[in-house]
Amino acid sequence: MKKTIHLNCDLGEGGKFDEELMPLISACNIACGGHAGNLETMHHTVRLAMEHNVEIGAHPSYPDRENFGRSSVEMSEEDLRLSIEGQVLSLKQITESEGGKLTHIKPHGALYNDAAKDENIARIIVESLEILEGNFRLYVPPNSKISELAMGKFDLFFEAFADRNYNENYSLVSRAEKHALITEKEAVFEHVFSMFKDHKISCENGAKIDVKADTFCVHSDTPSSLEIIEFLHRKFAEHGVGVKNT
């Protein structure tokens, strides 16, 4: 078993604990104006990431601040492409202006979920990112349309969620459902350690499905996210596992 685990977290979204979370993670995914964030928050979060040697990623979404990017939006292909390009380019330019480097891209919310199952949305995202200069990792869910389309075009990082329950088809349990989130720190650890050590996801219905994840996400707006990540650090250390970059 490898001795380090890669943790990522969505930041720059207006949460209360960005400064406390940043030193505890390997990579951050920074909101770049679609669902949250503005020029000021992007600059601030990039500087914070650089201070703590944390990988900097763009977190583009549907342009839907009202629903925090968690609802699908009907858009023309051209409008969606331009929105994604604009969001990523904005953060890329800000990162470089601060002396940093954009390392990865991870779609947010409904855009991420739609790209997992909708080949057209996945294609638009891939085409949008292909025209940008840079050698980026692309965070993708396992067994997804976007991972199939992006294979060979990007360095793919397969992602699993430490604080979300799964359905047997690898989709996340809808946030509208009661058990979508895993908020108890002990349960989060059991969930993520099973995926990390045994390469198994324990689904909401009790089934176990195979997964090989490169990175694990804890959402910054999950209740007690800071307590959860601090607990994960302690439990990983007990098992001889460190968190990359910390």
Does the predicted TM-score (pTM) go above 0.85? yes
Supply the pLDDT for residue 133: 82
DSSP-based three-state secondary structure for 10: strand
pLDDT tens, position by position, 46-56: 999 999 999 99
> Measured on CA atoms in the order 188, 181, 67, 82, is the torsion positive or negative?
positive
Domain 4-243 in CATH 3.20.20.370? The answer is: yes
User: How many DSSP H helices and E strands does the chain contain?
Assistant: 8, 11
Q: Which residue has the tokens 């949460």?
A: 15
Distance CA 40, CA 67 (A): 21
DSSP-based three-state secondary structure for 225: helix
Q: CB atoms < 10 A from the CB of 113, how many?
A: 20
DSSP-based three-state secondary structure for 69: coil
In the chain, domain spans: 4-243
Residue 168: its H or E element: none
With a CB cutoff of 8 Å and minimum separation 6, the contacts of 237 are none
pLDDT tens, position by position, 84-116: 999 999 999 999 999 999 999 999 999 999 999
Question: Which pLDDT band, with edges at 50, 70 and 90, does 118 fall under?
Answer: very high
Supply the pLDDT for residue 245: 84
DSSP 164-194: B-B-TTSPBPPTTSTTSB---HHHHHHHHHI
Cα dihedral: 189, 193, 199, 202 (round 10): -30
233 pLDDT exceeds 70? yes
Percent of the chain with pLDDT over 70: 99
